[in-house]
Amino acid sequence: EAEVAQSPRYKITEKSQAVAFWCDPISGHATLYWYRQILGQGPELLVQFQDESVVDDSQLPKDRFSAERLKGVDSTLKIQPAELGDSAMYLCASSRPGLAGDAGELFFGEGSRLTVL
Amino acid sequence: AQSVTQLDSHVSVSEGTPVLLRCNYSSSYSPSLFWYVQHPNKGLQLLLKYTSAATLVKGINGFEAEFKKSETSFHLTKPSAHMSDAAEYFCVVSDLLKGGFKTIFGAGTRLFVKA
């Protein structure tokens, strides 16, 4: 069964350091999402790609966060410098439209848990 | 503007009794609506999906949800709770906007099931 792959599963870093997360979506899924989930809250959309293009990054803190999906397949989310408040689970998801052209189901990876000390 | 409100942050039921998790949404267009479940230390899993077909949607593990456009609601129900249903539940709305579908999550409802 196809899955969304994410790495690393866990990352501990000190504040002001750089961090990077990688995501490989399900093959054929044109839409890729990065969400941040703080403990006890719902996932918050950081950035959404359609193929290699960003379609929504309105909630991405662009002074320290960046995301790319150069060939429209896998994606990298970077934080530099990391701050204490960045401690969270970073979730990657992918989707394709439903058969009737509606929004398809999001398939999630297991997430990357970041702890900033 | 697009938004999702889950009306209860916590719901506690006894095993074998009905479950009701409430969700209201705001959407500019004709949205797709979903419920996802997240068990502790597990990934997010789709429970069910509404996409403008039947307004009563059946999902996995005995859950179902009813889309009520007049009330802008999409409440999740189950006739009889099981201990394994204890988890976090998220209501999700997805709208077709310029550039593609935008999908946002509610804050979540934690379901506790008492023996």
Nearest CA in chain B to A102: B51
Residues of A in contact with B34 (CB under 8 A): 105-106
One DSSP character per residue, A21-45 reads: EEEE--TT--EEEEEEE-TTS--EE
Q: What is the predicted pLDDT for the residue at A97? A: 80
Question: If you search the block for the tokens 């996409």, which residue do you land on?
Answer: B51
pLDDT in tens, A75-101: 999 999 999 999 999 999 999 887 777
Q: What is the predicted pLDDT for the residue at B28? A: 72
Bridge partner residues of A33 (DSSP) = A48, A93
Picking from B32, B51, B101, B102 by the largest number of A CB atoms within 10 A of its own CB, the best residue to mutate is: B101
Bridge partner residues of B36 (DSSP) = B46, B90
Closest CA to B57 of A14, A29, A42, A102: A102
* Contact criterion met (CB < 8 Å) for A56 and B102: yes
Angstrom distance (rounded) from CA A86 to CA A63 = 13
Structural domains for chain A = 5-97+104-116 (2.60.40.10)
Q: Is the pLDDT of residue B5 over 80?
A: yes
Average pLDDT over residues B34-42: 90
Residues of B in contact with A102 (CB under 8 A): 32, 51-52
Question: If you search the block for the tokens 């550039």, which residue do you land on?
Answer: B99
Q: CB contact, 8 Å: A85 with chain B?
A: no
Nearest CA in chain B to A38: B107
Question: If you search the block for the tokens 């889309």, which residue do you land on?
Answer: B67
Split at pLDDT 50, 70, 90, the class of A1 is: low
Q: What is the predicted pLDDT for the residue at A12? A: 97
pLDDT in tens, A19-61: 999 999 999 999 999 999 998 889 999 999 999 999 889 999 9
Residues 6+ apart with CB under 8 A from B51: A98, A100, A102, A103, B32
Structural domains for chain B = 3-114 (2.60.40.10)
Opening angle at CA B48, ends B42 and B53, nearest 5: 160
Residues 6+ apart with CB under 8 A from B71: B24
Per-chain mean pLDDT for chain B: 92
- pLDDT higher at B95 or B107: B107
* Contact criterion met (CB < 8 Å) for A105 and B105: no
Q: CB contact, 8 Å: A39 with chain B?
A: no
